[in-house]
């Protein structure tokens, strides 16, 4: 069995092993990390040899940590990362490069149709009728996108939303509200087979699926990192928020991210009702200070940022031009009309 895991902000960990009679055998850990002293790598292998095959990642990490020689230094490597690679090997997880990725980057669409496209495309990936897909969104109008379980009245001021021409829609994933203006926002979705995140905890899957965009931002001179559970942050503040949805019955995962290229903070604060409790857990008193746009940090036009992100993904994993099929679009339009564009869905948590 073979498992790979790139430690967030670190290096690649590769584990080859067998499982016989319910325990791990012939364990070999490798990768492009740095480790001192040299004999620590053999201590790691010995620690995992004979471990119960059903031991969770925390238990595996504890075995590794306990076995490390005194003074061990790990660079780009963690005990937890090794444990995740083991669990991915046992789960027969796939890797990014095992797939032929498709890119969808189409003309601006209404907010409700974007919600519907996420559901349709991810369902198609789950059914095996569509290749794993990176979809970059273009927005036809301003919007607030609230999480699946958020209270509509607690999150949005309807009078302010109407005054500013902001459409309110509810997505199928959890998480918080996103304030969208077409020229100020970069949004993308990943619709991926669930085998890609096998062996990862729910929290770990966020960091794993966001790793490529951290690299893309780094290439643009931005040192960014994953901030649990679902933010991408820099020293200047948060620049993006992510959310996920597992397809019922398995088969695929939807992971979508909204990034602030620029932001009208005053308008956002008029439309969104951002509670003091939410601000307090982010260590700030002002919502304006929580988000630091990409425009200021990169100095690049929005289109150039998107182009560089796509190029980074293509360079890592390969990416071919794709499109939404006529059948997929017809289903998405029907869903936008009967579900995502309805007051019943939007206010399902009043």
pTM of the predicted protein model: 0.90
pLDDT for 216 equals 96
Q: Exposed, middle or buried, 264 (CB in 10 Å: 0-12/13-18/19+)?
A: middle
Residue 60 has pLDDT above 90, yes or no: yes
Residue with tokens 């059914």: 127
Least confident of 12-16, 121-125, 197-201, 307-311: 197-201
pLDDT for 289 equals 58
pLDDT for 277 equals 40
pLDDT for 279 equals 46
Residue 234 has pLDDT above 70, yes or no: yes
Tens of pLDDT, residues 274-321: 854 454 444 445 555 568 899 999 999 999 999 999 999 999 999 999
What's the whole-number average pLDDT of the chain?
94
Q: What are the backbone angles phi and psi of residue 295, rounded to the nearest 5°?
A: -60, -45
The CA-to-CA distance between both ends of the chain, in Å, stands at 48
pLDDT for 276 equals 41
Residue 131 has pLDDT above 80, yes or no: yes
Residue 71 has pLDDT above 50, yes or no: yes
Residue 259 has pLDDT above 70, yes or no: yes
- What span, in angstroms and rounded, lies between the C-alpha atoms of 88 and 197? 8
Tens of pLDDT, residues 147-205: 999 999 999 999 999 999 999 999 999 999 999 999 999 999 999 999 999 999 988 99
* Dihedral angle, C-alpha 80, 85, 88, 90, nearest 10 °: -100
Residue 228 has pLDDT above 80, yes or no: yes
pLDDT for 229 equals 86
């Amino acid at each position: 069995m073979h498992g790979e895991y790139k430690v967030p902000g670190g290096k690649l960990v590769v584990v080859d092993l067998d499982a016989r009679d319910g325990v791990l055998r012939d364990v070999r850990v490798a990768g492009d990390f740095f480790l001192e002293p040299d004999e620590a790598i053999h201590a790691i292998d010995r620690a995992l040899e004979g471990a119960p095959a059903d031991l969770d990642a925390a238990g595996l990490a504890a075995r590794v940590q306990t076995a490390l020689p005194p003074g061990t230094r790990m660079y780009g490597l963690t005990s937890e990362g090794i444990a995740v690679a083991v669990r991915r090997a046992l789960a027969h997880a796939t890797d990014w490069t095992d797939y032929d990725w498709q890119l969808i980057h189409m003309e601006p669409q209404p907010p409700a149709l974007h919600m519907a496209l996420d559901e349709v495309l991810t369902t198609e990936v789950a059914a095996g009728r569509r290749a794993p897909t990176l979809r970059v969104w273009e927005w036809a109008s301003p919007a607030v996108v609230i999480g699946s379980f958020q209270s509509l009245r607690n999150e949005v001021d309807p009078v302010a939303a109407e005054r500013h021409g902001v459409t309110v829609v509810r997505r199928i994933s959890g998480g918080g509200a996103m304030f969208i203006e077409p020229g100020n926002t970069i949004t993308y979705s990943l619709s991926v087979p669930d085998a890609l995140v096998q062996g990862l905890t729910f929290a770990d899957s966020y960091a794993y699926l966001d790793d490529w965009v951290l690299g893309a931002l780094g290439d643009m001179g931005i040192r960014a990192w994953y901030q649990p559970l679902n933010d991408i942050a820099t020293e200047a503040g948060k620049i993006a928020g992510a959310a996920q949805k597992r397809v019922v019955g398995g088969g695929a995962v939807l992971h979508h991210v909204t990034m602030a290229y620029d932001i009208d903070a005053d308008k956002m604060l008029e439309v969104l009702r951002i509670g003091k409790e939410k601000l307090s857990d982010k260590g700030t008193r002002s919502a304006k200070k929580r988000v630091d746009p990409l425009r200021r940090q990169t100095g690049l036009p929005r289109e150039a940022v998107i182009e560089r992100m796509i190029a980074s993904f293509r360079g890592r994993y390969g990416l071919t031009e794709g499109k939404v099929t006529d059948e997929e679009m017809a289903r998405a339009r029907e869903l936008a009309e009967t579900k995502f564009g309805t007051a019943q869905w939007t206010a399902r948590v009043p």
